[in-house]
Structure 1
């Protein structure tokens, strides 16, 4: 079977890793004013250098910085955009039995994407690239940013700066285009757009938090699919797919753009349940990415039948190995599920990964670093057996 020379790889990862204790301590010391930004950066550099060595030793063809310079998988990127500030809330994101830190991204002015701090963060990773090892950056999808701006506590600020939602969507797309062009210019060839919006939308308990109501007033041509999801959610799904596509429309042809979809990952808990079928005709059929990293580790993600909607020659990375728990999955059971998925998409277009990162926030999931690397070893072992390569 042909070896993949570009992402996604047969054995792949979503991106974030458990922070080492010395990095966690340093970030606390920085917040408390006990060390300088330069001292923190030096410690982050050390942690990332050690992480890259471990990723290479694990046999992976993709490396990330583990999101070690971030507190959140998504908010840090949003805070780095022009016209956005870090803000506090009364309540955080709700997960099963736990609540996150009450932080958000709120608008202070018009949005733009120049001079983003993630450019320099990624520059540090570039020297670790090799002929068969690709550095990847993970950032929240444009739809995720849009949704954050319509949290109940943010809606008034958003609409005061952008009375026209059309203008807001255009500026978000432009900001992402700017970022993509700038990070490509320094050598990035793999950008992953992390996007929980679809995973939340399929849950019958999904709370639009004012987004769908605003979306229903949009002047775009929205799809009709009332037998699958409500009209307001249809309108929102239409906005999401159009926005995500608009943000990457001018991307260089040799830049591999992928997206990761899950249902929440905070300290080993989750936020939503539901299969992909209600959004498949939007997400799988129309989003112009090269591949999808999809949560499939539990029944909360539904069956594989929606994969039949994946258009063109796009690939799917099956997230069959849980990053939430330390217990290893049964190898043969995972292989059986890969074969089940191949009923809907040729096995040549399938890959394997964990269902999400190991530390979507700096708190990390409830497993040890040894268990983390055992999970990755299982991914590579299965990939070798199924495809003959990683």
Structure 2
């Protein structure tokens, strides 16, 4: 996986100490960072409780004070990520209420009156608002492009990424609610076609604004291996095989025309909202389709709880040249795993493949309600001291130890990084080469 341009110029004034980024990245932030107190307070003043997308009335409001506070928080987050030793940085999703806002803040035709349930370790249901489609989607903004433009300046030339929802999440027949009144779409399939095409445009905007790495979050696949969700789909007359095909097609189509020098990653998570999750089950039944066919440079997979998510057997199906990122550091609890315990997990005898690297699970910041992963644990005082799930620094020394056990992935093949994907693979077929 090639991220950015290794050794490229970095503006010392923008980010402080200069160092080259490693390619492919050994350590990076996968999801959101915990928001600083000043930003949380500003967001609470600006948005009403229950906000989950910027609707027309909110676009008309003056957000200059909020943007100034966001800018300051993002600059500090970027500085600290680079100082920690990360190889790709993000804005912490500080401009978003939730990860999907790079899409739903960009369109009209949405309202947010419906809810969906998350599960937590205590067996409780936690409700989160979801998006109801009440009219045909129309582009209204391009927040990902604004994020990229600001990050290009704030990072001083250091590699950064912008995230979008995985295209296959639009194919979810229960969490994407298509309005029944006929003003919008007559079918979910019609909506998916529009949504994927709009997202392709939003991704292109972000790349033109300077993004060299794009991460797609929360594809449908964990739902399709969860017995409870499978039962719900089948009760409503949905065939799992058809849902798999629709998901694969959407996640392939959204990559069409992305330049080869832009890294693309698929982040497979189970949901993380107030330390609750939406899906359980091993990805093994879908491993050949997902890891063997989808033309992504890297797969970032949540594996923080073996009981919920199964073992690492799906890595056997990883397509040659792709990179697997193992999300084994939990952000659902403030308890801190030891470095040795994490390394023991990925060195367990008879592991199916060693083409992986450790990283923290996504979702430390999440939507506006606080995560139990506290601010005190957000950044460690020194790299390598302790192991905070919400602290990007904590995974850096682990990644160094993990990567020191094998040859570097930065070797070249045919003039390309091992993790890069030939242009011909980014087609609408989704076939493996």
Contact 2:33 2:363 in 1 (8 A): yes
Deviation at 1:383, TM superposition (A): 1.4
C-alpha offsets along residues 56-95 of structure 1, whole Å, 9 cap, x if unaligned? 1211111111111111122x23322334323212x44332
* CA gap 1:156/1:31 in 2 versus in 1, 3 angstroms: closer
Structure 1: distance between partners of 2:182 and 2:320: 37
**C-alpha root-mean-square deviation of aligned residues, in Å?**
3.0
Deviation at 1:98, TM superposition (A): 4.7
* CA gap 1:286/1:3 in 2 versus in 1, 3 angstroms: closer
Does 1:116 pair with 2:124?
A: no
Aligned residues: 365
1:84 counterpart (88, 98, 109): 109
Deviation at 1:209, TM superposition (A): 5.9
C-alpha offsets along residues 113-132 of structure 1, whole Å, 9 cap, x if unaligned? 5742221132111113355x
Does 1:334 pair with 2:334?
A: no
* CA gap 1:102/1:317 in 2 versus in 1, 3 angstroms: closer
- TM-score when scaled to structure 2? 0.76
- Which residue number in structure 1 is paired with residue 262 of structure 2? 255
Contact 1:238 1:282 in 2 (8 A): no
- Which residue number in structure 1 is paired with residue 70 of structure 2? 44
Deviation at 1:103, TM superposition (A): 2.2
* CA gap 1:60/1:48 in 2 versus in 1, 3 angstroms: same
Structure 1: distance between partners of 2:302 and 2:169: 17
- Which residue number in structure 2 is paired with residue 362 of structure 1? 368
* CA gap 1:7/1:95 in 2 versus in 1, 3 angstroms: farther
Deviation at 1:249, TM superposition (A): 1.6
Higher relative contact order (CA 8 A, sep 6+): 1
2:171 counterpart (123, 141, 146): 146
Contact 1:78 1:105 in 2 (8 A): no
1:310 counterpart (315, 318, 321): 318
* CA gap 1:343/1:113 in 2 versus in 1, 3 angstroms: farther
Structure 1 stretches lacking a partner, 5+ long:
217-231
- Which residue number in structure 2 is paired with residue 227 of structure 1? none
* CA gap 1:362/1:158 in 2 versus in 1, 3 angstroms: farther
- Which residue number in structure 1 is paired with residue 36 of structure 2? 20
Match of 2:111, SS? strand
Does 1:137 pair with 2:162?
A: yes
2:212 counterpart (189, 205, 213): 189
* CA gap 1:210/1:301 in 2 versus in 1, 3 angstroms: closer
- TM-score when scaled to structure 1? 0.84
- Which residue number in structure 2 is paired with residue 323 of structure 1? 331
